[in-house]
Amino acid sequence: MKEYQLVLERMKELEGWAEYIVEALHLDQRNEPVRRDMLRRALQERDLRAIRELSWSLRDKLHTVNTQLEFSRPPAENAVPAGHGLDEKSV
């Protein structure tokens, strides 16, 4: 794999983790042992609020960066391999 593709895959993984963090802080998941009310009891409200705001911000920033990476992909990586696209004879 090319370096660019590896970086893009890693960034998408990070965005997925950021989405998981957002969900873990805002939604009760059946398979998670810690619930939102447990977080509220364990953390000060302002700290929990700050962490939630950071989680949204991180997820949004990673999504923006990943979108920009997708659109700025080097031309060679956007190209269709020979024999896999439509050529002028078949159109």
pLDDT digits (tens, 9 = 90+) for 21-58: 998 888 877 777 778 888 888 999 999 999 999 999 99
**Contact criterion met (CB below 8 Å) for 16 and 63:** no
Query: φ, ψ for residue 2 (rounded to 5)?
Result: -80, 155
Prediction pTM value: 0.70
- Where along the chain do its domains lie? 3-71
* Nearest alpha-carbon partner for 53 in 65, 61, 41: 61
pLDDT digits (tens, 9 = 90+) for 6-16: 999 999 999 99
For the chain, give the number of residues: 91
Distance from C-alpha of 45 to C-alpha of 52, rounded to nearest angstrom? 11
